[in-house]
């Protein structure tokens, strides 16, 4: 495939799309309370894009100017043969694609870390909301934190740069975030903190768990020497660094510090829907376009989608309010 950019993607608000997030599956081997209901109904396998179709769509986005791809889920490593997709896209790093990354819950990371490095991935995000075994098990409903920590260390030792993603949850992990940052410094990891987002119906009221990162940052600043860092990954995080260390602290604040003005991202779901914004329902069906009309129809569908990209999301967390969108995070991809 040529690395020359054709027909670059610019949305109605003048933002150039450079970043594609791909959900390879809506399935997950954990059931985090802020993300899923305990009893989930997943898509039938017949509804999913094949790995070949995901690769074709991803390659088309690269041809049109996308320089970063993140694979996610659900949990991407539960999909059989996902390594084939990673290897195919990894071959394009340096030939149109600057970076291929993955977000994972870490449960299967020890098994796959070396394979991912060999395939071209250099950085992974691992979702980890608590180091305390009981808190972790409660949040995930049945997870084993020692398994995730083993995966994180295996990834680091294999040569992957690891960033921990932790959702700040009032009454659950707010007093564990400082120990989490201290642990990341000791382990040589980065840490991004995330405000809970109103996506999909869950079994709890998110209002009770919402913890603004403004207060979290104030508390961490009183305990750690935190300085501003100019690092950017193309995502929504604003970065600081623990002075005297290599550990970066990222804050993703969709409610207290809107970041939409610089949004360069679109998301492809595992069933082939292209969502232009995490907080809106507008989408186009790329699976149907590709199957019915090939690359020409795929380009047309992408252009239609770009025309629908909103200026910003409309996240609100208020007592008794409905989620911003009905779909769960696992459907759209992290």
- Strand partners of residue 23: 72
Closest listed residue to residue 299, CA positions, set 308, 310, 289: 289
Q: Is 19 annotated as a binding residue?
A: no
pLDDT confidence of residue 177: 97
Number of domains into which the chain is organized: 1
Q: Is 28 annotated as a binding residue?
A: yes
Assigned domain for 5 exists: no
Residues in contact with 226: Cβ distance below 8 Å, sequence separation at least 6, in sequence order: 217, 220, 240, 241, 242, 243, 249
Q: Is 253 annotated as a binding residue?
A: no
Q: Is 265 annotated as a binding residue?
A: yes
pLDDT confidence of residue 76: 97
Whether 160 has a pLDDT exceeding 60, the answer reads yes
Q: Is 18 annotated as a binding residue?
A: no
Assigned domain for 78 exists: yes
CA distance 136 to 143: 7
Q: Is 3 annotated as a binding residue?
A: no
pLDDT confidence of residue 297: 98
- Res. 1 pLDDT band, cuts 50 70 90: very low
Assigned domain for 217 exists: yes
Q: Is 267 annotated as a binding residue?
A: yes
Mean pLDDT for 79-94 is 96
pLDDT confidence of residue 328: 56
pLDDT tens-digit profile of 16-37? 999 999 999 999 999 998 888 8
Q: Which residue has the higher pLDDT, 314 or 185?
A: 185
Q: Is 287 annotated as a binding residue?
A: no
Q: Is 184 annotated as a binding residue?
A: no
Q: Is 161 annotated as a binding residue?
A: no
Assigned domain for 8 exists: no
Assigned domain for 10 exists: no
Q: Is 197 annotated as a binding residue?
A: yes
Q: How far is CA 19 from CA 22, 212, 221, 266, 288, in A?
A: 10, 27, 31, 7, 22
pLDDT confidence of residue 323: 47
- Res. 2 pLDDT band, cuts 50 70 90: very low
pLDDT tens-digit profile of 241-285? 999 999 999 998 865 555 566 788 999 999 999 999 877 788 999
Whose tokens are 């009981």? That residue is 134
pLDDT confidence of residue 305: 95
Which CATH number covers residue 181?
Answer: 3.20.20.70
Domain containing 92: what range?
A: 19-332
């Amino acid at each position: 495939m040529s690395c020359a950019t054709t027909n670059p993607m610019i949305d109605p608000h003048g933002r150039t799309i450079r970043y594609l997030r791909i959900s390879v599956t809506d399935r997950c081997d954990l059931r985090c309370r802020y993300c899923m209901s305990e009893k989930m109904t997943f898509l039938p396998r017949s509804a999913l894009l094949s790995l070949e179709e995901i690769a074709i769509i991803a390659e088309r986005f690269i041809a049109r100017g996308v320089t970063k791809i993140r694979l996610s889920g659900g949990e991407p490593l539960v999909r059989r043969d996902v390594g084939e997709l990673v290897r195919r896209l990894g071959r394009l790093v340096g030939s149109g694609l600057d970076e291929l990354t993955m977000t994972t819950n870490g449960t299967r990371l020890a098994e796959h870390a070396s394979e991912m490095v060999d395939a071209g991935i250099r950085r992974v995000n691992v979702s980890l909301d608590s180091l305390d075994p009981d808190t972790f098990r409660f949040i995930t409903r049945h997870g084993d934190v020692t398994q995730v920590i083993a995966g994180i260390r295996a990834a680091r030792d294999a040569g992957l740069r690891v960033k921990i993603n932790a959702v700040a949850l009032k009454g659950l992990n707010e007093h564990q975030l400082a120990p989490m940052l201290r642990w990341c410094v000791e382990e040589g990891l980065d840490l991004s903190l995330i405000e809970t987002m109103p996506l999909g119906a869950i079994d709890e009221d998110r209002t009770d768990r919402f913890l603004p990162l403004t207060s979290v940052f104030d508390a961490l600043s009183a305990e750690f020497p935190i300085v501003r860092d100019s690092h950017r990954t193309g995502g929504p995080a604003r970065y600081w660094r623990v002075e005297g260390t290599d550990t970066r602290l990222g804050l993703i604040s969709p409610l207290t510090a809107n970041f939409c003005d610089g949004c360069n991202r679109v998301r492809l779901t595992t069933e082939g829907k292209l969502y232009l914004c995490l907080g809106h329902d507008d989408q186009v069906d790329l699976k149907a376009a590709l199957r019915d009309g090939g690359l020409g129809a795929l380009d047309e569908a992408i252009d239609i989608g770009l025309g629908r990209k909103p200026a910003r999301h409309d996240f609100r967390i208020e007592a008794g309010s409905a989620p911003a969108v009905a779909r769960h995070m696992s459907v759209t991809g992290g």
